[in-house]
Amino acid sequence: MTDPAFWRGKKVFLTGHTGFKGAWASLLLRRFGASVYGYALPPTHPSSLFVAARVAADIKQCLADIRDLDRLRAALLEAQPDVIIHMAAQALVRPSYAEPVETFATNVMGTVHVLETARHLPSVKAVLIVTSDKCYENDGGQAAFREGDRLGGNDPYSNSKACAELVTYSYRRSFFAENGAARIASARAGNVFGGGDWARDRLVPDAMQAFLDRQPLRIRNPNSVRPWQHALDPILGYFTLVEKLVADASFADGWNFGPNAESEQPVRNVVEQLQAMWGDGAGWTSDDGPHPHEAAFLRLDCERACSQLNWTPRLDLVQGLGLTVDWYKAHQRGRDLRQISLEQLDLVLDGAVANGTSQSVSEPSRGEVAAVNAKSFT
């Protein structure tokens, strides 16, 4: 699995560090002793993980747009990183229908900008481009997608992620193929959730916001199946891939990071588990639309990552949802969310996450008791 010693002292340039997954990645990189230089737009929510966990206190950052090539180039030249992890994106399907130009400009040309700058930086040993499980052409079947399946996408978001994969492939073959060049890989993760995500039109944060507001959650497609996973699982997979990539050029390819098959559940099942964990009058109702098209089934085959990277998810669906509910309950009570976030990170790293319902919904929290011996950093 992930080797913390690899990251100690490494200079990592992380785009999208103010976003949900980027903030968790920043915390984890600092936990491993890496030096983080973040590049992203300012956070958009006052209680985002980036703000609530005070991520900026531990890193250097440039708050700018990935579409601004000159600013990005200047930041990368200043950082002189060993590793680039590109997460900056317009990350939602439904907003991509409203703003397709921005979606393509960010997700496609943003990727071009990162790779174009990286190829002129001798310090860079590896670049990881994070795309999406939605980069595959979804014909409505129920088979799990494998890395060699056809890329595509009907909606602008999915299509832009397929385009980002093609850009990555082109740059890998055209500019990073010679000996001594940086190695380029891409990562395709499932539907992630976790504490500190407030994005609209994502099931789990929508549920948390509705429950906090004591309103019924309105869901569009209760029977749709998605590969649900806590954000820390694919992030640990990304780090494992980078470690392999630096050591061996054969890992320069696209990789799936998804949950175990048991966590590929219908929306209805996820909502009912969240409702039971939250308690306190939480409820939901169907929203019959009309709505833009979304695929009914999306599943990932991650056997390649498990067998070749020795990566496996650390959390099942119930464990991941439990940690997530804990985080939002802590937010509701005005707790120190940096402390909560670091405790959750260490529980995952130590394999100490409890099974069953939410761990820390009472005072004192069972999550805190379990984390007494967990390592942390300031």
Q: Cα separation of 125 and 16, whole Å?
A: 20
For residue 281, what are the β-bridge partners? none
Token pair 């966990």 is at which residue? 53
Model confidence at 376, in pLDDT bands (50, 70, 90)?
Answer: very low
DSSP conformational letter for 149:
S
Average pLDDT over residues 199-211: 94
- pLDDT for 377 beyond 80: no
Least confident stretch, 25-29, 102-106, 212-216, 354-358: 354-358
Q: Cα separation of 97 and 111, whole Å?
A: 20
Average pLDDT over residues 86-104: 93
Least confident stretch, 10-14, 221-225, 334-338, 353-357: 353-357
Average pLDDT over residues 220-233: 91
163-180 pLDDT, tens digit per residue, is 999 999 999 999 999 989
Model confidence at 367, in pLDDT bands (50, 70, 90)?
Answer: very low
C-alpha 325, offset from chain centre:
18
Per-residue H/E/C for 258-276: CCCHHHEEEHHHHHHHHHH
Q: What is the pTM of this model?
A: 0.92
* pLDDT for the residue numbered 365: 40
- pLDDT for 143 beyond 60: yes
Judge whether 134 and 226 are in contact, CB under 8 Å.
no
- pLDDT for 121 beyond 60: yes
Judge whether 368 and 339 are in contact, CB under 8 Å.
no
* pLDDT for the residue numbered 295: 64
Residue 14's CB is within 10 A of a number of other CB atoms, namely 28
Q: What is the β-pairing status of strands 35-40 and 11-15?
A: parallel
Main-chain phi, psi angles of 291, to 5 degrees: -135, 155
| Token output for 322 | 């439990």
Average pLDDT over residues 260-276: 93
186: left (phi over 0), alpha (psi -120 to 50) or beta: beta
* pLDDT for the residue numbered 289: 66
- pLDDT for 118 beyond 90: yes
* pLDDT for the residue numbered 94: 84
- pLDDT for 294 beyond 70: no
End-to-end CA distance of the chain: give it in Å, rounded: 25
Q: Cα separation of 103 and 90, whole Å?
A: 6
Model confidence at 222, in pLDDT bands (50, 70, 90)?
Answer: confident
**Residue type for position 73:** R
Judge whether 205 and 336 are in contact, CB under 8 Å.
no
| Token output for 38 | 């973040």
Token pair 């439904």 is at which residue? 94
Enumerate residues 6+ apart whose C-beta is below 8 A from 70. none
Enumerate residues 6+ apart whose C-beta is below 8 A from 62. 37, 38, 39, 71, 75
Enumerate residues 6+ apart whose C-beta is below 8 A from 303. none
Average pLDDT over residues 126-150: 93
For residue 264, what are the β-bridge partners? 227
Which class for 195: exposed (0-12), middle (13-18), buried (19 or more C-beta within 10 A)?
buried
| Strand ranges in 183-273 using DSSP code E only, listed in sequence order | 183-189, 191-193, 217-219, 225-230, 254-257, 264-266
For residue 14, what are the β-bridge partners? 38, 85
